[in-house]
């Protein structure tokens, strides 16, 4: 089954991304928006013209805006489909106008908050006519320590959110991702997790309100949108339902002292046995501890070997961490000198790969990351993998040559939250989540084909070890190999929908059908409407 799905996606993907020019003249689309936007808002035509970019009218600015938040060079080539227009709203009314005018002009709207989506579906389209609504100006953050909340714009980045919390309190944080340049809108609406996963759960578990522009151009909050839509945009992907303007989240207490460590072991140093033991240890160990494991091929004495890196974040001091590890995982051999103590913000900088001389202000740099070529996939493991199985995985990674794995442990808080509490269903019953990770810097197309093939070969190889019926996948690790929807095809959407959302998929479809029956908000892996419920208007606009 999985092989056939991969083959299908391999056939579809070149077709999906074969458009190099829009079917409509970009200049006519640009002019249509300049005429339409003033009719939908009280703002002046001059103000509105400053937020609309076209490859024909203001090409240099258009290119700069387009490329500013492309975070994967694989999706930034001369043949990559380009939008007719980019709109960079600064006010809620401009977002409303953009939505209404997109419907009137008859173009698909892609919503970008940070650009870290691994397949670029926030700024690339299989539709011949599309625009980008880039939310990077929506980055206001209001942190209230007294009631432990933060209101954060969809275009803000995680690093900015972390810094604004740090400004107000040294003992508060927020449970979200380790990469500081990830956009809040996509991260939170897709699930969101980080190194405090076992203590506090997912980012979506801490959302208490939101503001969204719906298909009719209305600005809705939690009360006016209703609990169904509010449920859907906390893990179901916001771009299927509207334009997220902001989220209100509960921040968490993280203590004065946090501790990190990194211990690396090759297969010759019993890495397979240690990874096997890690699987059982993390299920019941203190919820304050998160240990990620990286599996990768490395060169030692001119030979390629498998290596495991155990990287920890502990909400506590080094002495208590060493005592905890000595009791529960003595085989790893953790010593106090392996540990580094610091504040929570220090742990954020460490996990973002900054050295210990870097000031927290780097988190305000929206372009602090290095942009290379890359591909990601995901899986969930529900049954411990044997030592021999882990060794075979190491051998396969060495054979392939470049691909690596990131193992993220579950347990703790994740076991306490029902699978239907949010659309993200992968909770209790999962030992860990796998991220397949490969990156490169050479633009050679042959290398790209080779590296993408490595991810698919390894995904097939892992079939006996991972979840089944359906095989799980994580929405924020977008992967077009597992299925693509053309137009509004329920059966196509169900293929990837069951993997991302499992038993929650049907509820998402019903909500989608209720709030966006014509499937205006759509992408290659969006939520479809119920069969026969769409009026077909959106499909007419696509032609």
Distance CA 187, CA 209 (A): 16
CA triplet 300, 73, 57: central angle to 5 degrees? 165
Distance CA 14, CA 292 (A): 35
Q: 470 preceded by cis ω (within 30°)? A: yes
What letter would DSSP give residue 513? H
3 state SS of 111: strand
Distance CA 93, CA 111 (A): 16
Cα 185 to its chain centre, rounded Å, is: 10
Give yes or no for a contact between 172 and 150, defined as CB atoms under 8 angstroms apart.
Answer: no
Distance CA 151, CA 155 (A): 12
Mark out the alpha helices in 170-213 (DSSP H runs): 184-189, 197-200
Residues serving a catalytic function are 477
Backbone angles phi, psi at 82, to 5 degrees: -115, 145
Q: Counting every residue, how long is the chain?
A: 543
Distance CA 150, CA 188 (A): 13
DSSP 246-302: EEEEE-EE--S-EEEEEEEEEGGGTHHHHHHHHHHHHHHS-TTEEEEEEEEEEEETT
Structure tokens, 180: 């500081």
Strands in 145-257 per DSSP E:
149-153, 172-173, 207-213, 219-220, 243-250, 252-253
How far, in Å, are 13, 127, 424, 443, 525 from residue 485 at the CA level?
11, 12, 20, 28, 6
Facing residues of 295 across strands? Answer: 308, 405
């Amino acid at each position: 089954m999985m092989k056939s799905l991969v083959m299908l996606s391999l056939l579809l993907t070149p077709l999906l991304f074969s458009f190099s020019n829009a079917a409509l003249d970009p200049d006519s689309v640009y002019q249509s928006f300049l005429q339409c936007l003033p009719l939908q808002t009280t703002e002046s035509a001059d103000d509105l013209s400053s937020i609309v970019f076209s490859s024909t009218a203001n090409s240099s600015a258009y290119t700069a805006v387009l490329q500013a938040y492309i975070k994967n060079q694989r999706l930034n080539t001369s043949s990559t489909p380009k939008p007719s227009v980019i709109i960079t709203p600064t006010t809620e009314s401009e977002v409303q106008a953009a939505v209404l005018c997109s419907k009137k002009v008859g173009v698909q709207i892609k919503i970008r908050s940070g650009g870290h989506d691994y397949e670029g579906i926030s700024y690339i389209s299989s539709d011949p006519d599309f625009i980008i609504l880039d939310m990077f100006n929506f980055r206001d953050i209001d942190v209230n320590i007294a009631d432990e909340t933060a209101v954060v714009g969809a275009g803000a980045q995680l690093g900015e959110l972390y810094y604004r919390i740090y400004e107000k309190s040294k003992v508060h944080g927020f449970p979200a991702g380790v990469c500081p340049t990830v956009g809040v809108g996509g991260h939170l609406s897709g699930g969101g997790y980080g190194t405090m996963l076992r203590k506090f759960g997912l980012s979506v578990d801490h959302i208490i309100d939101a503001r969204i522009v719906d298909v009719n151009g209305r600005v809705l909050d939690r009360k006016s949108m209703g609990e169904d839509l509010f449920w859907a945009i906390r893990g179901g992907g916001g771009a299927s339902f509207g334009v997220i303007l902001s989220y209100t989240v509960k921040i968490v207490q993280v203590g004065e002292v946090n501790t990190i460590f990194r211990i690396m072991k090759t297969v010759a140093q019993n890495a397979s046995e240690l990874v096997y033991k890690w699987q059982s240890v993390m299920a019941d160990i203190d919820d304050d501890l998160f240990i990620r494991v990286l599996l990768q091929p490395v060169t030692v004495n001119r030979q390629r070997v498998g290596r495991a890196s155990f990287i920890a974040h502990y909400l506590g001091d080094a002495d208590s961490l060493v005592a905890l590890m000595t009791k529960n995982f003595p085989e790893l051999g953790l010593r106090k000198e392996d540990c580094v103590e610091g504040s929570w913000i220090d742990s954020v900088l460490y996990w973002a790969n900054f050295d210990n001389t870097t000031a927290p202000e780097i988190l305000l740099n929206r372009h602090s990351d290095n942009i290379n070529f890359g591909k990601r996939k995901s899986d969930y493991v529900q049954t411990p993998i044997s030592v021999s199985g882990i060794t075979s995985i190491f051998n396969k990674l060495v054979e392939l040559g470049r691909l690596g794995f990131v193992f993220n442990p579950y347990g703790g808080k994740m076991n306490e939250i029902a699978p239907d509490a949010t659309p993200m269903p992968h909770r209790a019953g999962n030992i860990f989540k796998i991220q397949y990770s490969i990156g490169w810097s050479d633009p050679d197309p042959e290398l790209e084909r080779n590296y993408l093939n490595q991810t698919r070969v390894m995904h097939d190889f892992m079939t006996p070890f991972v979840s089944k019926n359906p095989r799980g996948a994580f929405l924020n690790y977008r992967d077009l190999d597992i299925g693509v929807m053309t137009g509004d095809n329920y059966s196509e959407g169900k293929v990837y929908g069951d993997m991302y959302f499992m038993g929650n998929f049907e509820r998402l479809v019903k909500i989608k059908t209720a709030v966006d029956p014509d499937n205006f908000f759509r992408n290659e892996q969006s939520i479809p409407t119920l069969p026969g419920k769409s009026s077909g208007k959106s499909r007419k606009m696509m032609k």
